[in-house]
Structure 1
Amino acid sequence: MAEDLAAQDFERIIAEIGPKPSGLGMLAGDLIRRVLDVVLNLLFIEDIDDLLEEIARAVRELFPVDRVVIWLAGEDLVRRPKVVQGFPEDQKSEILAISYSDQEIAEVKKYAKWLSKLSWFMPAEILQKRGLDERDLLFVKDRNDVLRPRKSPDEWHPLDYLDICIYSRTGKYIGAIEIESTTDGKMLPLETVRAMEIFASICSVAIELATMRDKELAIADAAASRANQISRILTFSKDVLSLVDPDALLDNVLKALKELFGFQAGSIVLLDETENCFRYVAMIGYSDEEMAYAKTLRIPPDALKYDISPEFMIGRNAYYVPAEQLPENRLIWEIYTPSSFDRLRKIRGEPRAHEGAWHKLDNLIFVLHDRHGRPVGAIYPDAPSDGLIPKPETVDGIGIFASLVSISLENAKNYRLTLRAKEEIELLNSLLFRDVSIMNESMRDHLALAMEPHLTKEQRMKYVRNAMEKLDAMIELIQRVRRLSQIQSLDHSSLVRIDVASVIRNQVSKALSKMPDRRIKVLFGSLPENSFVLANDMIGELFSDIIGFSLRNNYSETPEMIISINELMDDFTNRKYFDITISDNGSPIPDEKRPGLFDIPYGTSEFTMTDISLFAVKSIAKMYGGRIWVEDRMSGGMPVGNTFHILLPAG
């Protein structure tokens, strides 16, 4: 335990020990000339490391100094040794590994003997009384001499040291020239210390010049490197991102991460709007088993929300989650196999090799946005080839690349939607022509039969009614296909604010009026007032078709329907949505039919009016910026019906 240093002891030590005037009362002229000659030459050394070595060498040549250390303070104010001369190599390497914080230096200075504003001396007696730490012992030749008393007031004790401070032209502390021992073992005269101060003052100019040159070169190198990197990104992107096939595009994006930025592995997740989850859609650098299992995962939005928390942001749309901050429940969304999950937990507990090393469970994330700014996916580069956490310039480069990927994905998506819309129109036209032809032929046949002279009046009226039913069906089909065509051509500019609760009540009344003979029970859950959405006159058709589909396919003796509107917030966009649920007690729709329930049945000639209605519902919801899906209505852990979800943004 260190002794308390009494005020009187401190005053006595400071007064008795330390550099004193030699009696000449002035600096020797030849010493000043030598100092100026040497130090002026230092101004022309451009490399900072070479300069510091020369400064230390000059100190030992000009002054009776044996051991010297030059310290520099970083931007973090931590003082680190940069040059060590006069020590054995093993001792030198130990000294170069230590540092002192700004607070530690401030504490030491309280007990130092200040010789001027530029220099202070620390006597061994103060260190002995205050207590030594391991760092103090690194600077002595023989540790047996550490605690011995000073032989005489003019002796340089092994624990003594003298700091000549170096300041910038603005008065900022740069570092210090620290004298650890003298050549003759004697205390330095005060005049010599004054000469050292002059030397240090001019050295500060040389250090500033060299530092400025280093900064200028670093800036120039960084600018050149960045320009070269951006040029490579743009050149590479021209070929990679011009692909219109999303799968090929994503595979090439991961190859680009390896080619441009040196990542040996990586993955891309995209939003699956049908199931409101993220899925792995492209991977590179993992085993076939790992990739196959990863593609089965349905990653909840909350998992990505954690990854892109503000605390992890390291750049524009760039985030870094260290393995140490990866929660246990987040591990299940990593790329692995079920049999290797325990190994994944073990890896999570392993320390990283060193401060800047990449950990196997580090996550680097670059968010992909759609044109509305909504996160629709993310790129996860992995396994950097140098094994290090990427530098800011690499992160910036990938950020630029990811922005281009977002644009390309949006373009590929739009191109795919355009092609699909064309295919849908062609299919609808083809089926319309086929069905109208069939209906027309059937209608003509029934009319022809109605004209037979031998038929009774009742028989003739039966054929006429059949012909009229075919005509009505043909008109309805034409109207629905025309309606679909209108939906495809409309955009958001035609939408207005509509109270969805009022629309639902109105459509329920209409549906019940069409089925007066059925004992239908409709229950309304939460239907908040002012549930406004941006829509048009087709919103009624959206709900009438869903309600009608649900009731027509509910063969229960007492059909039941529960309708609710729930408010939801999208944490990504901070936007409010209404989740309109329509639940029934009909037979649950089989799992295999749900994914394509609201799509046109491509590749088949089977095409019903119901198919057109459900596809129209999906198209209308999509036009409003929403989506629709169906899931089991559960009770007691068992499916007891269906629940349709229509998610629409609040208007």
Structure 2
Amino acid sequence: MAGLERGKRKPTVKRCPTPPRFAGEMLSVLSDVMSVENLDSVLHKIASTVAELFSVRALIISVLDENDQVFRVRATYGYEPERAEKLRKFTYSQQRMKKDLDERYKVMENVYFVRPGPEEFVKADEQFYFHLTDITKPRGNPEEWHELDYMKFLFRDREGVTNGYIEVIEPVNKRTFDTATIEAMQIFSQLAGVAIENAKMYQQRVEEAQRSKFLSDIIAHDINNYNQAVTSYLAMAQADGQDAKSTHKFLERASSSAWSISELIQRASKLAKIEEEGAANMGPIELGEVLKASAASVLRESADHKVRIDLNLGGNRYFATGNELAEEIFTNILKNAVEYDPHEAVVVEVSIGEFFVDYMRYWCVSVADNGIGIPDSKKNLVFGRFNGLEGGLPASGLGLSIVRAVVEAYHGMVWVEDRVPGDHSKGSVFRVALPMTSSS
């Protein structure tokens, strides 16, 4: 949110000679907040604890994204679910943060009380407020909390770098906090910052352990299934009474299953690498060229079938942020579209359009197929590692796991819808939204 204009008086808080209150209550909840668990759980506990302990109606918690060097809203309190979901897409730049951390707004160490005027209201911030008509309301009693007011409590890491903050949007009584309350909130915020850093380290260790265990999980899960298929087909090929044609058919199926093991290992290694290294060497990519390359690759692999991929690109150029992994996204989606279409002649339609989420602009690639479709109960599951689509041999789902991993590394979105709304049996539309960028 915008800062104060230069020349305005530094915000003040009521002085209180008494020591910080809430000590007993804080001690009773800190053991719970300081427990080591995943980051989102810790943030949720901190948000609800601050709200209940200090009578806060609404607040947000933002954490530094170390890759993009922006602060992202990770937890909210006091907002209905749909609005909270929108707020969690909000980012706060380092430049904007510096405006809020001006010495004029500092009320004590790591605490900043920003009281902007109506002329400083930023349209994109209106999602944080509850009473938009009060934004232009003149300030009266300095102890009253104005609609535009907010107070930041900073978290700092072991090196003293700001890595997050609690931002109080509105107290329950709409009055400014007294000094004793702010001191107590400051102490709690410092301890909460330690809990957040511990949770981040814990989460990193868990993810590393999961990645190191990943290939062995694949071996135990899918490779065993394919080996059973190979063994079964070989047994049928060797069975007494088989003619040469049947024997040849079973041997071909055994060979196909064996090659599937090799492809599975390659995909597992690729996914592990993406999750380990993230998206490196990011820059502008032209989605039309990426789609052409992906379509050509899938058509080569499907040369024995009647497959047509219609690229409806409109003669335009579509630049998004990505790297050489982008082709993996659309190659895997197109492979699924072909593989799970039971028709003799397979037709897949691809198009690109604009997509907006609040102030963010994306190119949205839509891949529409005429396949077996995906029931609503499974739409959110198909991007998991071991949630393959129905039909055929046991599927690992790794192709769509790779799609999700790359898209998330690009800060994009991926989801699936019914091609005919309300009737999943008519096929699916996979949509991939990637942030727009310029060509240079």
* Range class of TM-score, shorter chain: 0.5 to 0.7
Measure the CA separation in 2 of the matches of 1:476 and 1:362. Answer: 56
Asked if the contact 1:567/1:577 (under 8 Å) is kept, the reply is yes
**Which runs of 5 or more structure 1 residues have no equivalent in the other structure?**
1-74, 78-217, 284-290, 336-343
1:244 corresponds to: 37
Shift of 1:610: 5.5
How far has the Cα of 1:468 moved from its partner?
A: 1.0
Amino acid at match of 2:60: I
Corresponding residue number in structure 2 for 1:49: none
Pick one of 579, 592, 608 that aligns with 2:363.
Answer: 579
Render the CA deviation track for 1:136-155: whole Å, top value 9, x for unaligned: xxxxxxxxxxxxxxxxxxxx
Q: In structure 2, what is the Cα distance between the partners aligned to 1:613 and 1:333?
A: 38
CA drift of 1:407 comes to 7.2
Bigger radius of gyration? 1
1:268 to 60, 69, 72: 60
Q: The residue matched to 1:629 in structure 2 has which SS?
A: strand
Q: What displacement does 1:330 show? A: 8.6
The 5 Å alignment of 1:188-337 reads 240=33, 243-245=36-38, 246-256=40-50, 262-268=54-60, 283=77, 294-300=80-86, 313=100, 314=105, 319-320=114-115
Match of residue 406, structure 2, among 616, 620, 625:
620
Q: How many residue pairs get matched?
A: 389
Residue in 1 that maps onto 2:383: 598
Matching of residue 518 in structure 1 with residue 310 in structure 2: no
Structure 2, gaps ≥5 residues long: 1-6, 66-71
Residue of structure 2 in register with 1:66 after alignment: none
Q: Which amino acid aligns with 1:383?
A: P
3-state SS of paired residue (1:355): coil
1:461 to 241, 248, 253: 248
User: Are residue 506 (structure 1) and residue 293 (structure 2) matched?
Assistant: yes
Question: What's the CA shift for 1:647?
Answer: 1.9
Q: Are the counterparts in 1 of residues 368 and 419 from structure 2 also a CA contact under 8 Å?
A: no
Give the Cα separation in 2 of the matches to 1:514 and 1:355.
73
What's the TM-score once normalised by structure 2's chain length?
0.62
Residues 184-234 of structure 1, C-alpha deviations (whole Å, 9 max, x = no match):
xxxxxxxxxxxxxxxxxxxxxxxxxxxxxxxxxx9xxx9x99xx88xx9xx
Give the superposed CA RMSD.
5.8
Q: Kindly provide the amino acid, as one letter, of the partner of residue 349 in structure 2.
A: M
Do the aligned residues in 2 keep the contact of 1:447 with 1:467 (CA within 8 Å)?
yes
Aligned partner (choices 185, 188, 203) of residue 416 of structure 1: 203
Taking a change above 3 Å as real, the CA distance of residues 500 and 397 of structure 1, as seen in their structure-2 partners, is farther
Map Cα deviations across residues 572-616 of structure 1 (whole Å, 9 max, x no partner). xxxx976341342647755443333322358xxx99535111111
The alpha-carbon distance between structure 1 residues 442 and 238, as it changes in their structure 2 partners (threshold 3 A), is same
Instruction: Tell me how far 1:472 sits from its aligned partner.
Output: 1.3
- Cα distance in 1 for partners of 2:240, 2:416 equals 56
Note closer, same or farther for the CA distance 1:520–1:256 as it changes in structure 2 (3 Å cut): closer
Q: Cα distance, 1:450 vs. partner?
A: 3.2
Aligned to 1:630: 415
Contact 1:279-1:295 at 8 Å conserved across structures:
no
Change (3 A) 1:478 1:309: closer
Distance in 2 (CA, whole Å) between partners of 1:454 and 1:590 is 42
Q: CA deviation at 1:644?
A: 1.0
Change (3 A) 1:551 1:473: closer
What residue is the counterpart of 2:216 in the other structure? 429
In 2: Cα distance, 1:636 partner to 1:325 partner: 44
SS at match of 1:518: strand
CA distance in 1, matches of 2:192, 2:50: 11
In 2: Cα distance, 1:503 partner to 1:321 partner: 46
Taking the aligned partners of 2:126 and 2:335, their CA distance within structure 1 comes to: 44
Is 1:446–2:238 an aligned residue pair? no
Q: Is the 8 A contact 1:562 1:584 kept in 2?
A: yes
> Aligned in 2, Cα 1:435/1:351: closer, same or farther, shift over 3 Å?
closer
Q: Is the 8 A contact 1:627 1:648 kept in 2?
A: yes
More helix by share: 1
Counterpart residue type for residue 579 of structure 1:
W
Percent identity between matched residues is 13
